[in-house]
Every structure is written in structure tokens, then in C-alpha cells.
Amino acid sequence: MKHLLATDGLDPELATSILDTADELKRTLLGREVRKLPTLRGRTVITLFYENSTRTRVSFEIAGKWMSADVVNVSAGGSSVGKGESLRDTALTLSAAGADCVIIRHPASGAAHRLAGWLGETGTKVVNAGDGTHEHPTQALLDAATLRDRLGSLDGRRVAIVGDVVHSRVARSNVHLLAALGAEVVLVAPPTLLPVGVESWPVTVSHQLDAELPAADAVMMLRVQAERMTGGGPGQSFFPSAREYSIAYGLNEKRLALLADHAVVLHPGPMLRGMEIASAVADSPASAITEQVRNGVHVRMAVLYHLLAGEEEGVAA
Ligand code: CP
């Protein structure tokens, strides 16, 4: 694998292979006192984050360290980005300093693709850890891993993705990956939180959450991205208010009761409890939110393995 920039266009066989590798890594490390494999010894992984993150940054760092890579974390705030250095110069600097892989989160859609273009000749691999409203491929892979754990397979499963779709890179990456792996996806959102052109996506669209819940095998709640809702001035916002949103699209206990017994509740985090999802739902047996975080480490180990390990290196060698 050259880079991991998106799930749009990701070969389903490669995606399945990454998920299988993550499963193998999870089984290998289960119950071990020392969670350390030598697989990526001598490789250098740099996380380059221009936006806040807890789950993605930490789990990539743990993933690299559990595979014995050297991991360096760079955040825009503490680097020469603050002195005006461009993304291109920053990327070339990290590559020259010895990065085998740069994991980037950036507010601009397309930033990871640009980085991959600039680093093309250097051999440094790029992983997109979230670019604007575009994609967050490792989130979709860890969501798929979690659904496979709970449901056995994604083939023919119905997944409702609910909420702020228009600003969600998690939704975009999940739509492409889930469809490629054989799931049916329904987007449930108010018209103002759906993107232009959604008709061409491999999904159906609904505005009625209650109507979609009984047939769903999984419900993926999205974070409401207030920081990206810049349209309209004070009092002119065309998005629903927090109260309207919660009433129409919040996953509360009453709605949890509409789900089938086997149905799974997901949320990429961070959650707005009480608005997007009630605590009683987030902490219920149907919720796989903690499992998503745990799987995030194994999936990101698998991604680093597929990018950086040589042919001769076994996954758990
Ligand atoms: N899901 C996710 O990307 O979370 P973080 O912003 O905490 O990394």
C-alpha cells in the first residue's frame, strides 16, 4: 500500500486484509503483559496534527509504539507552523528528518492528498487522519472492525448514519467503505445537514429517525461539528438549533427501544452527551463506543503494518 488517503476507491480486498490483520494483532496481544511486537523496529512514524484530537492521535502513537516504531508527535501549535512555515515545507522537513510515514490531520479537505503528492519521490508514506470535511479512513476501518466483531459480517447489514452528515469526514469514509464491504447505508439527517450531490452516493436518504431504527443493524451517531457551521450570522443560522436537533435526531432511551436486540450503537467521539446521544444509550450494552476506541489501536497497527513492514516481516513476528 503506497498511502492511505481515503476509503473512496480503496480496494475492498485490501480493506478486508487490513481488518483481518487487525483481528490477528488483537488476538496476538490479548492477555499479554507486555504489548510489544518487533515488527516495525527501526521505522519512524510522525503524527502531524493541525487540529485537536484525542482518539486518533493517541491510538496512532500507541499503535506505532506497540509495533516498536519510533513515534514523534508534532502539533501545529508547538512547531514552526506557528512561525508561518507552509504545509509543504513542513512535510519535506519531516521527510528529510527521517519519517517513514507522516500521519496528518488538517482542517483543509485535500491536505493529505497534497502531502502525498509533495512526498511522492521521497518514499515517505502518508496516512490521512482526517482532512476537513473530506475523509477519515482509519475511523471507517475501525468502525467496520467493530461492526464485524458485533455482527459477524457487514454483507447485507443495514447501517443508519445519523446527524451532521454535511460536515462529517467520518460519514463520507464510512459510506464508501461500508458500501464496498456489502452493507446498505441509510443517511438520516435534516435537509440542511446533507451535502449537495448526496443523490450520487451509494446510500438512501431519510429525514425520519424513528422510522429507520427498527430495520437497522447498526446506528452510527455523528458529532455535530459546531466549529464548521460558519454559514449565517447571529440568528441567521440555517442549521437546526441544539434543542431542535436533539428532539428530532438525538438517540435517547425511547429510540433505543425501537432498535432490534442485536443492533449496535456507534459514535466516533467526542460525544455531545444529552444532545446527540443520551448517556443511558452511550453507556448501554448496545453501545460499542469503547470497543471502537480499542479497535482503533489494532486497526492503526494494521495500517502501519501494511504501509511499512517489508514482505519478509510477519504481522506478529
Ligand atoms: N473520532 C476521532 O477522530 O476522534 P478524535 O478527534 O479525538 O481523534
Q: Which of 52, 55, 228, 291 to mutate to test the pocket of ligand 1 (most atoms within 8 A of CB)?
A: 55
pLDDT more than 90, % of the chain: 83
Q: What's the CA angle centered on 145, arms 219 and 198, to 5 degrees? A: 50
Q: What is the mean pLDDT of the chain?
A: 93
Which residues, 6+ apart, have CB-to-CB distance to 9 below 8 Å?
176
Q: Helix, strand, or coil here: 89? A: helix
| 243 vs 257, residue with greater confidence | 257
The residue type found at 246 is S
Do 127 and 198 fall within a single domain? no
Mean pLDDT throughout 200-211? 97
Residue 313 belongs to a domain? no
53 CB less than 6 Å from ligand 1? Answer: yes
How confident is the model over 86-122, as pLDDT tens digits? 999 999 999 999 999 999 999 999 999 999 999 988 9
Shared domain check, 112 and 156? no
**pLDDT tens-digit series, residues 122-138:** 999 999 999 999 999 99
Question: 55 C-alpha to center of ligand 1: Å?
Answer: 5
Whether residue 161 is found in the same domain as residue 267? yes
Tell me: the pLDDT tens digits for 23-58? Answer: 999 999 998 888 999 999 999 999 999 999 999 999
Residue 106, strand partner residues: 131
Cis-peptide, bond into residue 270, ω within 30° of zero: yes
Are residues 205 and 273 both part of a single domain? yes
In a domain, 213, yes or no: yes
Q: 3 lies in a domain?
A: no
Q: Is residue 221 part of a domain?
A: yes
115 with 186, same domain: the answer is: no
Q: Which of 56, 26, 18 shows the shortest CA–CA distance to 144?
A: 18
Q: How does residue 231 score in pLDDT terms, banded at 50, 70 and 90?
A: low
Residue 237: which pLDDT band, with cuts at 50, 70 and 90?
A: low
How does pLDDT run across 67-77, given as a tens digit for each residue? 999 999 999 88
Q: Which residue has a Cα nearest atom 1 of ligand 1?
A: 268
- The partner residues of 54 in beta bridges, in order of sequence, read none
Give the per-residue pLDDT at 236.
47
Beta carbons of 293 and 59 less than 8 angstroms apart: yes
Question: Which band of pLDDT confidence, cut at 50, 70 and 90, is reported for residue 316?
Answer: low
ipTM over 0.90? The verdict is yes
Pair (78, 115) in one structural domain: yes
Same structural domain, 228 and 183: yes
CATH number for the domain that contains residue 115: 3.40.50.1370
Whether residue 257 lies inside any domain: the answer is: yes
Q: Cα–Cα distance between 138 and 103 in angstroms, integer?
A: 11
Task: Please tell me the total count of domains within the chain.
Answer: 2
| 298 and 285 together in one domain | no
pLDDT per position as a tens digit, 7-25: 999 999 999 999 999 999 9
| Ligand 1 atom closest to residue 52's alpha carbon, by position in its atom list | 6
Do 117 and 194 reside in the same domain of the chain?
Answer: no
Q: 314 lies in a domain?
A: no
How confident is the model over 301-311, as a mean pLDDT? Answer: 92
Centre of ligand 1 to C-alpha 172, Å, is 15
Q: Does a structural domain hold residue 300?
A: yes
CA 129 / ligand 1 centre spacing (Å): 9
Q: Tell me the pLDDT tens digit for each residue of 146-199.
A: 999 999 999 999 999 999 999 999 999 999 999 999 999 999 999 999 999 999
303 CA distance to ligand 1 middle (Å): 17
Q: Which residues pair with 251 in a beta bridge?
A: 277
**Quick one: 113 and 16 in the same domain?**
yes
Pocket test for ligand 1, best of 53, 143, 299 (most atoms within 8 A of CB): 53
Pair 204, 178 in one domain: yes
Q: Which domain range does residue 113 map to?
A: 12-135+293-308
Same domain, 274 and 297: no
**Residue 125 lies inside a defined structural domain of this protein:** yes
